[in-house]
Amino acid sequence: MPAAAVHLELVFSRPETTLAVTRGAARALVDLGHAPLLEVCLPNGRRADVMALGPRGEIVICEVKSGIDDFRSDRKWGEYAPFCDAFYFAVAPEFPLEALPDEPGLIVADGFGGAVVREAAPVPLAPARRKALTLAFARLGAMRSLRE
How many domains is the chain partitioned into structurally? 1
Read off the pTM. Answer: 0.88
Q: Is residue 108 part of a domain?
A: yes
CATH number, domain with residue 65: 3.40.1350
Q: Tens of pLDDT along 50-83? A: 999 999 999 999 999 999 999 998 888 889 999 9
Q: Tens of pLDDT along 27-36? A: 999 999 999 9
- With 0-12 CB in 10 A as exposed, 13-18 as middle and 19+ as buried, what is 14? middle
Q: What is the residue range of 58's domain?
A: 15-147
Q: Is residue 29 part of a domain?
A: yes
Q: Is residue 31 part of a domain?
A: yes
pLDDT of residue 11: 41
Q: What is the mean pLDDT of the chain?
A: 91
Neighbouring CB atoms inside 10 A of 16's CB total: 10
Residues in a beta bridge with 113 = 110
Q: Is residue 5 part of a domain?
A: no
